[in-house]
Structure 1
């Protein structure tokens, strides 16, 4: 499946109302979600607050439905999105680089605490909205209706406010954990990057970039971590995931090819047969007979 660079598509696009300051992009994304599913990549984390319509975001471990009045924090990387409601999709998007989030937490000494939570954060983190956050998103949307845009300094304060609000409210522990992980180290967890993005047909240089590493450093750290090469690991991980989908879903072979990150159906069938000594369709039929 083709991966669309969502951030570059939105940035500077005259179709969308937008403002920016210090590499933070704030935009009203107002258009239909064409096709289903669509894989979107972004080199920056972003907040999404839905005003109209809705969508379904799928990760290797879960699915998240966002409808009008819902919000989420989405890590930089690739996200698979399905349209779920008729009509247009309108959302407020705030793209933030790791550096901005880190600077806010580092300057707020009471927030930068090395604590651990047992929960593992996914690439999509739904936000629990209190009245303060709801008012915040609506107040940002109001800037687009003003005769003149707000000052850069005011926008910067507003963007910092969002991070501090979430990190101090106590209502969003997973988002807070994610913020602190971003601030704690220049290099992202390699395991987390791979587990969040293996279903997407990315090149190794893309995985390296997501983990904030050079390609050489990525390959070196990968072998240390997994005791195998990235190519072998990705093939095995995608095959295991495809097997899981065959066993637990009603998806057809073409859909499973896309869902598990293979380039095309013929490549998937050939690779699956080599690993499991059975074609995917035959494997699925055998499972149904046993059940």
Structure 2
């Protein structure tokens, strides 16, 4: 699969073969710029000039998106659509795949993305009044309407901090300030419940569970290593110990197995099936399919008629 480096987020939507793991995956796109970053604490400024539909992304930590210009639609794993316009924001949970759509017919989309790690969340919970209150039922993703004080905070991020080489301490302070502003202006118990359910000691995740849960998504080995809490080399070693093959080979086998099921159970074209599982080249897809199953996708389909 082709490298994403220097692509735009619109390209990712048009390509449709890969999922984006954020925040770390944003570095590969020219229309997403770092404002401040340290570990998983981060603030990004994104400006998308043309329509981007069907961009699938995975949050490795909770995220707040604030729309400066334009309108963006977020689709949750349950199919709920959350439409966020200028001056509004959305809180997005960790460890879920979501899809975003943006139409560029009325101009560019401009937004700020804030990523919170466990350190920020725990400190906010300790300092927040009523932090010991029992959280409400599961929150999931939710939208926050326009508030003047929050809009003023966001303007300062653009006017001041894009030209400052922010320190770790400054980044931490701005993320804490944002959470306290949301608690003051919005429903504080809703925010606490969201943060409570999205704070965990990430550490190393069970590789078998991780792959069972996410192997249908076209992520890279590097992405899976990050999600597992390991370096790429450590992930490769542990994966091979557990599965008996390298992760790259295992992922190809899983994708080709999905392709075989699609060949036998759908009317989609061979090109469409290959594209869906991450192959930009139909000839490459057919060659790997034949190498694994001993026949081409077209011949397999004809044999089942």
Which TM bucket (shorter chain)? 0.5 to 0.7
User: Structure 2: any 5+ residue segments left out of the alignment?
Assistant: 6-24
Pair 1:158 & 2:172 matched: no
Shift of the 20–205 alpha-carbon distance from structure 1 to 2, 3 Å rule, reads closer
Give 3-state SS (helix, strand or coil) of 1:30's partner: strand
1:259-281 CA deviation, whole Å, 9 max, x = no partner? 31346322322333454555334
Q: 2:36 matched to which residue of 1? A: 20
> Residue deviations 1:230-249, cap 9 Å, x none?
23421232123334555676
Q: How far apart, in 2, do the equivalents of 1:56 and 1:160 lie?
A: 21
Match of 2:142, SS?
A: coil
What SS is found at the alignment partner of 2:204? coil
Q: Does 1:3 align with 2:22?
A: no
* Distance in 1 of aligned mates of 2:219 and 2:59: 14
Instruction: Provide the residue aligned with 1:127 in structure 2.
Output: 141
**Normalization by structure 1: what TM-score?**
0.60
Task: Kindly indicate whether residue 156 of structure 2 is the aligned counterpart of residue 143 of structure 1.
Answer: yes
Q: Distance in 1 between matches of 2:76 and 2:276?
A: 9
Give the Å deviation of 1:75.
4.9
- Pick from 231, 234, 240 the counterpart of residue 214 of structure 1: 231
Asked whether 1:53 is paired with 2:110, we answer: no
Does structure 2 conserve the Cα–Cα contact (< 8 Å) formed by 1:199 and 1:238?
no
Asked if 1 retains the 8 angstrom alpha-carbon contact of 2:65 and 2:90, the reply is: yes
Alignment partners' CA distance in 2, 1:233 and 1:162: 46
- Distance, in Å, in 2 between the alignment partners of 1:258 and 1:75 is 27
CA contact (8 A) 1:27 1:92 kept: yes
Please give the alpha-carbon distance, in whole angstroms, between the structure 2 residues aligned to 1:225 and 1:164.
45
| Cα distance between partner residues in 2 of 1:284 and 1:29 | 44
Contact 1:45/1:73, CA 8 A, preserved across alignment: yes
Partner of 1:184, secondary structure, is coil
| Aligned mates of 1:231, 1:101 — CA distance in 2 | 35
Query: 1:100, 1:11 → 2: CA distance?
Result: 28
Counterpart secondary structure, 2:236: helix
TM-score if structure 2 supplies the norm length?
0.58
Paired residues for 1:197-208 under 5 Å: 199-200=217-218, 202=220, 204-208=221-225
1:116-145 CA distances to partner (integer Å, 9 max, x unpaired)?
x9x9xxxxx9622355x9677545324257
Structure 1: which 5+ residue stretches go unaligned? 120-124
Specify the alignment match of 1:122 in structure 2: none
The 8 Å contact of residues 66 and 90 in structure 2, kept in 1 or not, is answered as yes
Aligned residue-pair number: 269
